Structure 1
Amino acid sequence: MEGYKFRLQKLLDIRSDKEEESKRLFKEAQLEREGAEQKLNTLKENYNKYRSSESKNLVEQKLKHMYLNALNVSIVEADTILKLKTDKLDERREQLKQRQIERKTVETLKDNQLKAFIKEQDFIEQKTNDEFALYGFLRARERR
């Protein structure tokens, strides 16, 4: 709107930038969690695959047993990492929500001020139009 200047525009811009940064961090955390989840699923699939296979001799059984133990340890670690990534994702989600609320608060203030400005401009325009109409009416009366 011509003539309207929002005095808190810099604050709105800063909050919008912070929200965009939070969106980026949330997306990163989401990708990290998905990667950790995929790794965990792969480890579980490998564990189930080799657990059900049969070993022919003692050496193969021993190697299979050691491999399954290593997979089991890796699964526990991957599960722990997945929980940490999930917690981080939840934290980023809450941070994003908070930043969206902060931005929307200032945006709502801007919208309300713009509506008030438009209403004031409409009132001034209506007052001017009424004055012109009154002058026109008075001139028309004087001519008679």
Structure 2
Amino acid sequence: MLLWLTFVALAVAESAPEATPLTARDVQVKYTDPQLQRFFPPKAQRAGIEGMAQVLCTIDRNGRLADCEVVRETPTEQGFGGAALKMVSTFRIGPQAKDSSPTAGRRFSYQAKFRIGPPPWGPASWEKPGAESAAAP
């Protein structure tokens, strides 16, 4: 069974909620685990259930995500929230957004969609086209 995950990331300045939110295109996310599909919850995978989870974290000065919490998960009771928390623990955020503003101390909202089947960009690769590097789509 082929599994794939899609991600939507949104970082928002904690101290300036009125500021325009940063999008996934505005920050550099390094995936330290190249096999992100391994985070698909086993219970849901066995049952053929797809889902999503959104987590909210703070970016620390080393680019790690801290104080993460699940803010949304569907369906519930399938392990998608816990899987998303484990997944983001492997992420590293670059020290600056692409607009050169610092990322440390900002809130980071991350949505992971867990899907069964080949990714829409083709089954030959788990990387989305246009990835900046092998470790950072």
TM-score grouping bracket, smaller chain normalisation = under 0.3
Larger radius of gyration: 1
- Structure number with higher helix proportion: 1
User: If the length of structure 1 is used for normalisation, what is the TM-score?
Assistant: 0.21
Name the structure with the higher strand share.
2
